[in-house]
Amino acid sequence: MRYLDEYRSLRLVEGQLREIKELSICAVLMEVCGTHTMAISRSGLRPLLAPEVDLVSGPGCPVCVTSERDMGRAVALASLEGVILATFGDMVRVPGPQGTLLEASSRGAAVRVVYSPLDALTLARENPDRRVVFLGVGFETTAPTVAATVLRAREEGLRNFYLLSLHKLIPPALKALVDMEDFAIDGFLLPGHVSVVLGTEAYGFLPREYGIPCAVSGFEPADILRAVYLLLRMKAAGEPEVVNEYSRAVRPEGNRKARETMFHVFRETDAEWRGLGVIPGSGLELRDEFRDLDAGTWDIEVPEVGERSGCRCGEVLRGRIRPPECPLFARACNPDSPFGPCMVSSEGTCASYYLYEEGGRE
């Protein structure tokens, strides 16, 4: 299949690996996308690039970066009488201070797994006597579709559809990362899906203000290796910029229509990220004209958040440690019995290491 098979060609991959090795440049690079993390692990690229190139994972999994406090609010909403909470499958197993949504369901809460925010609209139509709350999670890729769903609910006059927005924005998180003490990354492998919406211009502050080279990449092995090569070449030349390896899908201006829809419904707000804390302007909340649909404004009691003993998911999300360095990894924490969200999500770093990397399954 065009744009897939050609980017998986063994001959092409071997040639790119030779070009990277011939550069003889050492670098620590961070992929900022959970899909990249899974693709890198599944393709076995990490050991092939070592020891010169060290690939570390960042906060690119929206399920993983959802804070315990926000999960506590979601569980509290789901536990209200007359409420149906709808969300994506991975979210029902993410822990909060009162446990997971799956556990809340076992106690009688009405939790429904959906494949699209439009499915939540269907639930609202079919249950006019219930309040249906869609738990919206994701980055700039999914936020426009949720915004379009909010507009559809308004057009239909649905009075029992609500949204709990836990959406996050990638550029502010990258800025928060590089502003942290002891941050030591030589380049960013930027997310392809997010960049389809954002374009490449949104990342310009990284080379301009911090001198960090960036490459937007696709998700096949040849895409990723080409992006790594471009990052290393920029490091060697001392000329950082944002380059677009994924030009077959990403344009410099991105998808303006998607962004217009997103910001017609949402506005930027401060948001709490697991492992990174509260980041200014990194979340999305409903604008005033849609506040009557905002389940985040409901007056509910959310339990205090305590420490999750032993879980080092926050350090994994900051690229400080690799999953096998967590004492729970592949022992008390595994995909069948996850302790932290990095093992829950299909895009989580811990899940990818467990499935494909050395030190995973015992």
Write down the domain spans for the chain.
5-61+180-244, 63-169+255-297, 313-356
Average pLDDT over residues 309-329: 92
5-61+180-244 and 63-169+255-297 in the same fold: yes
CATH topology of domain 5-61+180-244: Rossmann fold (3.40.50)
Q: What is the full DSSP assignment across 2-41?
A: TTTGGGS-HHHHHHHHHHHHHH---EEEEE--HHHHHHHH
Q: What is the full DSSP assignment across 233-294?
A: HHHHHT---EEES-TTT--TT--HHHHHHHHHHEEEEEEEETTTEEEEEEEEEE-GGGGGGB
Beta-carbon contacts of residue 196 (< 8 Å; ≥ 6 apart): 141, 249, 250, 254, 255
Backbone angles phi, psi at 14, to 5 degrees: -65, -40
pLDDT surpassing 60 at residue 9? yes
Which of 80, 71, 83, 78 is CA-nearest to residue 132? 83
175-230: per-residue pLDDT in tens?
A: 999 999 889 999 999 999 999 999 999 999 999 999 999 999 999 999 999 999 99
240-279: per-residue pLDDT in tens?
A: 999 999 999 999 999 999 999 999 999 999 999 999 999 9
Name the band, by pLDDT with cuts 50, 70 and 90, for residue 303. Answer: confident
40-71: per-residue pLDDT in tens?
A: 999 999 999 999 999 999 999 999 999 999 99
Whether the CB-CB separation of 348 and 64 falls below 8 Å is answered with yes
Range in 117-121, 166-170, 344-348, 355-359 the model is least confident about:
355-359
Name the band, by pLDDT with cuts 50, 70 and 90, for residue 313. Answer: very high
Name the band, by pLDDT with cuts 50, 70 and 90, for residue 308. Answer: low
Average pLDDT over residues 157-162: 96
Name the band, by pLDDT with cuts 50, 70 and 90, for residue 346. Answer: confident
Is 0.75 surpassed by the pTM of this model? yes
User: Contacts by 225-229 with C-beta closer than 8 Å and gap 24+?
Assistant: 225/13, 225/16, 225/17, 225/20, 225/45, 226/16, 227/189, 228/20, 228/29, 228/49, 228/53, 228/55, 228/189, 229/16, 229/19, 229/20, 229/23
Give the pLDDT score at 182.
Answer: 83
Mean pLDDT of the chain: 93
120-143: per-residue pLDDT in tens?
A: 999 999 999 999 999 999 999 999
Name the band, by pLDDT with cuts 50, 70 and 90, for residue 1. Answer: very low
pLDDT surpassing 80 at residue 3? no
CATH topology of domain 63-169+255-297: Rossmann fold (3.40.50)
